[in-house]
């Protein structure tokens, strides 16, 4: 029996395992995918300084470092239940039951694709599925595609598809409805895009984004937004075009669209069909926290962190004894933040177990997480720091600290 069981072999889980192993703990990591790395495996983007972030290389580095430190990594294993026992946790997996004194949940995030009429046609997929097929499986998703849903995730992945030689014809908004929420509202989408304008290759777009800080300027910007949209990396982003339905007989053949008003309503008489052989639907990410719920961990709903997250303190401890969390299960942020959180969680586990000799390392790790967060190239939600502060207050009340 290992001292620590880590569920999830993504950036947070692997980093935590390395930190634990370096401080004298035996560690086992389980993950349902056939190789470690998590969402790192699909990531490829250029940083503002011109360097490239290659997620596959980073995943290989973390995997090799973990194995060199003596971490046991078991792939292809699904976890479906966790129970508190006298001396830790009993974890039910497809490879049998595992008992462990210390448990870390680093399960990451799940993707939500907003429903669009025709979305069950072959050739229609989530934007995350297209990323995995392209960057991990090396499968071409199609020749010409349309991305429905404009957000930070879809813009980044559309760029990755383009780098792989796939033609992303344009990015448009989903139908405006109760289900799609702000995703179908041009002004709300514009606000979200302003947070990644610094990544735009065009100096004009970067300069223009600085003029769009006020609410009324954003309304004006949406009203004057050109029909053909603005291009990032030659991919037209059309905030005034909305999808009505995905069309095709046996597979995707196109998308019926219409011009939309600034509040997302279709304008009659502007309908047309855009030819396409694949469609990617982007709805965003939310913490994958079901195992924490099964364990009995209390939750908080924090929109700026992506939804419901398990309550935890700045040391990544939950109110439940010997249960820790790290990575996107705690809120949707970048892989670099997840790595920093994982290292912090590993130190916290070692401290709880009594093998951490230098307690100052924990405070250094807490500061490192905040530093990486502030320097993050991509932030998925606004007001992350405020959300973290609110969660910290709730954790203090819940845990009596």
pLDDT in tens, 201-224: 444 444 344 444 545 444 545 555
Confidence of residue 145 (pLDDT cuts 50, 70, 90): very high
What is the rounded distance in angstroms from the CA atom of residue 396 to the CA atom of residue 401?
5
CA dist 339 and 343 (Å) reads: 6
Kindly indicate whether the domain formed by 4-110+286-399 is annotated with CATH number 3.40.50.11540.
no
- The pLDDT of residue 28 is above 70: yes
Distance (Å) of CA 219 to CA 54, 72, 114, 191:
37, 54, 25, 10
Lowest mean pLDDT, pick from 12-21, 121-130, 135-144, 204-213: 204-213
Nearest by Cα to 349 from 20, 112, 11: 20
For residues 110 and 101, give the distance between their C-alpha atoms in angstroms, rounded to a whole number: 27
CA distance 4 to 2: 5
Query: Quick one: residue 354, left, alpha or beta (phi over 0 = left, psi -120 to 50 = alpha)?
Result: left
187 has pLDDT over 80:
no
Which pLDDT score, from 0 to 100, does residue 198 have?
47
More confident residue, 119 or 176: 119
Task: State the DSSP string of 325-369.
Answer: E-GGGG----HHHHHHHHHHHHHHHHHHHT--S-THHHHHHHHHH
Query: Going along 207-347, which residue ranges are E strands?
Result: 230-232, 235-247, 254-259, 272-275, 278-281, 285-287, 299-302, 307-310, 323-325
Which pLDDT score, from 0 to 100, does residue 398 have? 86
Residues constituting the chain: 401
Q: What is the pLDDT of residue 234?
A: 84
Q: Which CATH superfamily is domain 114-282 in?
A: FAD/NAD(P)-binding domain (3.50.50.60)
Domain boundaries, the chain: 4-110+286-399, 114-282
Q: Which residues pair with 374 in a beta bridge?
A: none
Cα dist. 341→97, 122, 375 in Å?
A: 27, 38, 14
Measured CA to CA, the distance from residue 107 to residue 369 in angstroms comes to: 18
Token pair 């993504």 in the structure block, residue: 10
pLDDT at 30: 98
Residue of 62, 55, 59, 64 lying closest to 16 (CA atoms): 62
Do β-strands 272-275 and 254-259 pair in parallel, antiparallel, or remain unpaired? antiparallel
């Amino acid at each position: 029996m290992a001292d620590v069981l880590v569920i999830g072999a993504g950036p947070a889980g692997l980093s935590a395992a390395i930190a634990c192993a370096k401080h004298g703990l035996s560690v086992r990591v389980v993950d349902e995918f056939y190789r470690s790395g998590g969402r790192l495996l699909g990531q490829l983007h250029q940083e503002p300084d011109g360097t490239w972030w290659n997620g596959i290389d980073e995943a290989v580095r973390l995997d090799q470092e973990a194995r060199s430190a003596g971490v046991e990594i078991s792939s292809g294993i699904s976890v479906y239940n966790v129970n508190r026992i006298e001396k830790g946790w009993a974890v039910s997996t497809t490879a049998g039951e595992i008992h462990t004194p210390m448990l870390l949940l680093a399960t990451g995030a799940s993707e939500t694709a907003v429903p669009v009429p025709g979305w069950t046609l072959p050739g229609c997929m989530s934007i995350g599925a297209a990323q995995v097929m392209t960057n991990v499986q090396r499968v071409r998703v199609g020749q010409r595609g349309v991305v429905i849903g404009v957000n930070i995730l879809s813009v980044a992945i559309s760029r990755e598809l383009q780098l792989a030689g796939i033609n992303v014809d344009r990015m448009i908004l989903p139908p405006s409805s109760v289900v799609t929420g702000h995703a179908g509202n041009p002004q709300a989408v514009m606000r979200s895009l302003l947070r990644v304008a610094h990544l735009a290759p065009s100096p004009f777009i970067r300069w223009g984004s600085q003029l769009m800080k006020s609410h009324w300027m954003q309304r004006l910007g949406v009203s004057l937004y050109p029909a053909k949209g603005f291009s990032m990396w030659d991919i037209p982003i059309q905030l005034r075009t909305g999808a009505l339905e995905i069309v095709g007989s046996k597979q995707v053949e196109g998308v019926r669209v219409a011009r939309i008003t600034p509040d997302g309503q279709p304008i009659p008489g502007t309908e047309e069909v855009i030819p396409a052989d694949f469609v990617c639907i982007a709805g965003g990410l939310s913490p994958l926290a079901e195992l924490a719920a099964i364990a009995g961990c209390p939750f908080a709903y924090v929109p700026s962190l992506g939804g419901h997250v398990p309550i935890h303190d700045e040391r990544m401890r939950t109110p439940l004894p010997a249960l820790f969390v790290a990575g996107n299960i705690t809120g949707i942020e970048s892989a670099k933040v997840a790595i920093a959180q994982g290292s912090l969680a590993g130190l916290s586990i070692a401290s709880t177990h009594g093998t951490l000799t230098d307690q100052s390392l924990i405070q250094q790790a807490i500061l490192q997480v905040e530093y990486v967060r502030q320097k993050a190239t991509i932030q998925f939600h606004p007001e992350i720091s405020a959300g973290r502060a609110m969660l910290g207050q709730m954790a203090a009340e819940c845990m009596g600290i």
